[in-house]
Amino acid sequence: MSVSTTLPDWPPSLTPEQHSHLILLSSTYALTHGFTLLPPSSSQPPTSAIAAPLSLLPTPFPRGLYDLAVSLQPLYNALYARITLDWDFLDRVMGGSVSKVDTFQGELWRGWKSIREDLVQPLQLGLFRSDYLLHDGEKEGISIKQVEFNTIAASFGALSQRAGEMHKYLSKATNGYFSISPHLSNPSNFPANEPLKNLAAGLAEGWKAYGNKDAVILFVVQDGERNVFDQKWLEFELLESHSIPVIRHTFSELSTLAQIDPTTKNLLLPSPLQPSLPAREVSVIYYRSAYTPTDYPSSAEWSTRLLLETSKAIKCPSMALQLSGAKKIQQVLSEPEVLEDFLLGDHRPDVGFGKGAGSLTQEDVDRLRLTWIGLYPMDNSELGKKAYTLATSQPEKYVLKPQREGGGNNIYRENIPSYLEELAEEDKHKIEGEPEKKEGYILMELIEPPKGLRNLLVKGGENKSRLADIVSELGVYGVSLFGGKQVVNQTAGTLLRTKGRESDEGGVAIGISSIDSPLLVD
């Protein structure tokens, strides 16, 4: 689906006095409502916070494409749940060349394979986020194209809700942003968005399915996390709205604390603060860590991950579900008939749409495919050879992606040929029969966002904005509980991150991207 929407000239003009007033209102709103990050150098316990990077005004987004992205999320939830349950497919895709040339993915796949026959918890929980960019195809108009699908640590749900609430407050407090634009004066252009509420409800569904009202939810977190308030809001929501306590621990702490009952396989955590009390049973393990190699500085962290995986607790995500979010999976899905098999095959389990053929249609398949852009393997197949030619002869049209999460890992445009040469140089020292280094990557056609859109971006902790040519990335959250008779499949809200067009990579914590909200336009 594409639309012929002409995005409005943006932002509308503000007087210096109006601009200063919006800076004051937005910064005080952010600080008083927990729309915050820790400063780059913060003490423990923290004694200060800064406003999260934000946009002074919401950013125009075509209403029809926003509605489309939201409507597709249950389909994507079902797709990735079914991928996760297909061990043969994961073995073929992730257990092949990727596991041999990518150390991190190899450890993840081999670890999962070593313990998967002994798993005692069939239920799996996914808090997903599907990310899209607007694509200006010139002839066909503006459409949305998927950047990636996140199956682990899909962050900023709480802060995204706060961003939308802040923009609504600014509009109400200033007579529709001083009546500078009719788009800003219409409340229906500010979509309802409650990812904090919905993601917490998803974790609560996992807790309820586990079936022990005295159990806790475990957040596995990184050391020195600056995005702690986004996580804390989830913790508060679980406690206040669902009466579910949360315990936070890092991998290093869990390596000495985590215990598994040999009979029940319950995951038990004694309290370091009250060691005389009985250990608490864990119902759900929610990872806001474990997605990057730096989270596993030694073999001890991998051993802890495997220990947690073999427990009775519901994992969010499991190691299999984390593997399903790899870029290589995204690329293989684009190959002929693969998507059809997962969504239309009569042997597929019920993950929220019923079982097998008839629960979904070819129209559903086509709707998903419309959100994809060119994806290619970097192997020695005929398609892989074509990709190599494209990457070296027309690099300005492509991005080279490794199997990584968290941003800052991609190779863009003119940097691709020299990077492939570096990989080829490394291959001169490989053992005969091993795959080439490039097989750990995929090639993706660059999405071309519409040009000419600008906004006022405020870096965290600063009392000024900069006017930037922008690119906005829309994320749609989803909740999926699957693997047993209890099935949940829901859309859970959205996130809009906006950055200056000059930057290929994002990153809210480092100040490149701002947390924004969409202003729907027709």
Task: Name all domains of the chain by residue range, CATH numbers in brackets.
Answer: 9-373+447-521 (no CATH), 374-446 (3.30.1490.50)
Query: Which residues participate in catalysis according to the annotation?
Result: 129, 148, 150, 155, 327, 401, 405-406, 497
Binding site annotation covers 280? no
DSSP designation for 214: T
Q: Is 505 labelled as part of a ligand binding site?
A: yes
Query: In the structure encoding, which two tokens stand for residue 462, read together?
Result: 């600063």
Structure tokens at 231: 């996580």
Note the pTM of the prediction, 2 decimals: 0.96
272 is in an annotated binding site: no
Residue 115 is given by DSSP the state H
Nearest alpha-carbon partner for 29 in 171, 142, 129: 171
Q: For the chain, how many residues are written? A: 522
Nearest to residue 328, comparing CAs of 231, 268, 401? 401
> DSSP secondary structure string, 472-487?
EEEEEEEEEEESSS--
430 is in an annotated binding site: no
- Name the nearest CA neighbour of 516 among 508, 402, 236: 508
Residue 227 labeled ligand binder:
yes
Transcribe 291-331 into DSSP letters: SSGGG-SSHHHHHHHHHHHTSSSEEET-HHHHHHTSHHHHH
Q: CA 63 to CA 519: how far, in whole Å?
A: 8
User: Would you write out the chain's pLDDT as a tens digit for each of its 522 residues?
Assistant: 666 567 999 999 999 999 999 999 999 999 999 999 999 887 788 889 999 999 999 999 999 999 999 999 999 999 999 999 999 999 999 999 999 999 999 999 999 999 999 999 999 999 999 999 999 987 778 999 999 999 999 999 999 999 999 999 999 999 999 999 999 999 999 999 999 999 999 999 999 999 999 999 999 999 989 999 999 999 999 999 999 999 999 999 999 999 999 999 999 999 999 999 999 999 999 999 999 999 999 999 999 999 999 999 999 999 999 999 999 999 999 999 999 999 999 889 999 887 665 689 999 999 999 999 999 999 999 999 999 999 999 999 999 999 987 667 899 999 999 999 999 999 988 888 889 999 999 999 999 999 999 999 999 878 899 999 999 999 999 999 999 988 999 999 999 999 998 876 655 654 578 999 999 999
Cα Rg of the chain (Å, integer): 23
Q: Around Cβ 441, how many Cβ atoms within 10 Å?
A: 30
Q: Residue 20: how many CB atoms within 10 A of its CB?
A: 13
DSSP letters for 421-445: HHHHHHHTTSPTTPPPGGGGEEEEE
Are the C-beta atoms of 511 and 53 separated by less than 8 Å?
yes
The reply, when asked if residue 289 is annotated as ligand binding, is: yes
Q: Is 402 annotated as a binding residue?
A: yes
**Sequence-ordered list of residues with C-beta below 8 angstroms from that of 157, at least 6 positions apart, any chain:** 127, 195, 196, 198, 199, 230, 234, 477, 492, 493, 495
Q: Is 401 annotated as a binding residue?
A: yes
> Is residue 12 marked as binding?
no
What distance in Å separates the CA atoms of residue 198 and residue 234, rounded to the nearest whole number?
10
Phi, psi of 252 (to 5 degrees): -65, -35
The phi-psi region of residue 461 (left if phi > 0; otherwise alpha if psi is between -120 and 50; otherwise beta) is left
